[in-house]
Structure 1
C-alpha cells in the first residue's frame, strides 16, 4: 500500500512539474532540444510537454495565405528560440497574416514572435533565424540545429539547453575584460562543441592514449 501511494505521488509530481508548449495556427513545430518533432501520421504535432528549465524550440510559419484571388502556401526559414515555461502552459503566436505580401513584409522587417502565457500575459519572444546552405538546406532540421549549437557552444543536457560559453566565459561590459569561469568539465565541453570533426577525432585518440599510459 505504501509503495503504491509513493508511486502515485511520484507520478502526480511529474505531471504537475511539466508544462505544455503549443503553437498557434499556421506555425509548425519542427524540433525541441535538438530532436525533430515528427508528425503523427497525417497530423502535425502542435504541442509538447516540457519540464522546468530552458528548452530550445524550433518553429516556422507555414500556412495558407492569399495571392490575389488565389491561395498559396507561404513558408519561412526555421526560427530557433530558448524558452523557459516554468510551470505555466504557453503558446507561440504571431499576428494574423492573411496575404502573401503581408507575410513577406512582416518577416523581411524582422518577425516579432510572441509567447502567450497561461493567465493572459504576452511577452516578446527573441529568436534566431536559422540559415541553411545548399539544396534542401532545411530538410534535415536536426543537422541544422546541431550545426548552430556547435558554432555557439550550446549543448543539450538532461533535456535542457545550456549555453556553455555563457557559463564558462564572463565578459565585463565596461572594461571588456574576459574571465574564464566555470569548472574544468564545463570548459572542456565548451571547447569540444567548437572543435571540428577532425579535432574531435584527434582528441578522442589522445584521450585513449592517455588512459592507457
Structure 2
C-alpha cells in the first residue's frame, strides 16, 4: 500500500513539475508575478520555480564594473518580461559587461536580454523598462509593477500573467473602430484593473447594496 502511494505521489510530482528559472551573475531577480523576491538572509535569491504558463518576471542589472582603475556598482532600472518556460529550465543572461562604459552603452542603446534554455536554445527576451517617479522610485517594486499592470490591463491569475486587453479588445486597423469581445467576466476584470481606488470602492458599495440572487 505504501509503495502504491509512493508511486502515485511520484507520478503527480512529474505531471505537476515546475521548471527552474535562474538569473546570471550581476542580474538581480526583483519580482515574480507581482510579488517581490526577498533575500534569504545575506544571500540573494537567484532562481525560482515556475509552473507551466506565462509568468511576469522583473529583473535588473546590478553588479561591479570597472571605472578606470577603480570598481563601482552599476544598477539599471527594472526590466519586466513575460516568460513561459514550457517545462524547460532556463537562465536570463546578458553579454559580459566588465566596465561602466560598456554597461552604459549597452543599456542606453536598448539592452538585448536573452533566455538560455537547458537544451542549448537561446531566445531573445522582449521586455519593458519600468519607469518610476521621484527619489527611491523602485523601493516599492510591487507598487511599481501594480501600476504598470493596472495601466496595461494585466492581472495575475492562479500564478499566471493574463493580458486582458489582448483577450478582450480588438481594433480595426483600417477604421480605428474598437470592439470589445470575450465573455462578461473577462470584460469586468479588464475594466476593474483600470479603475481608480475611489471607483473600486464605489463599485463595491454598489455591489453590496444590490441583490443579484
1:78 partnered with 2:78:
yes
Q: Does 1:12 align with 2:14?
A: yes
Deviation of 1:126 after TM superposition, in Å, equals 0.6
Aligned counterparts of 1:113 and 1:212: Cα–Cα separation in 2: 49
Q: Deviations over 1:3-54 (max 9, x none)?
A: 4432332123222xx1111111100000000011111111111111101100
1:32 is matched with 32
1:131-169 deviation per Cα after TM superposition (whole angstroms, max 9, x unaligned): 111121101111110111011100000000000011111
SS in 2 for 1:211: coil
Cα drift, residue 173 of structure 1: 3.4
3-state SS of 1:142 partner: helix
> 5+ unaligned residues in a row in structure 1: which ranges?
none
What is the CA–CA distance in structure 1 between the aligned matches of 2:119 and 2:110, rounded to whole Å?
A: 27
**Residues 1-213 of structure 1: matches in 2 within 5 Å?**
1=1, 2-15=4-17, 18-211=18-211
Shift of 1:118: 1.4
Q: In 2, Cα distance between the equivalents of 1:181 and 1:124?
A: 31
Q: Distance in 1 between matches of 2:161 and 2:22?
A: 18
Moved more, 51-60 or 162-171: 162-171
Cα deviation, residue 212, structure 1: 7.5
Structure 2: segments with no counterpart, 5+ residues: none
Equivalent position SS for 1:87: coil
Deviation string 1:71-91 (CA, Å, 9 cap, x unpaired) is 000000000000111011111
TM superposition shift of 1:174: 4.3
- Between the aligned partners of 1:7 and 1:120, the Cα distance in structure 2 is 31
Across the aligned residues of Structure 1 and Structure 2, the Cα RMSD in angstroms comes to 1.4
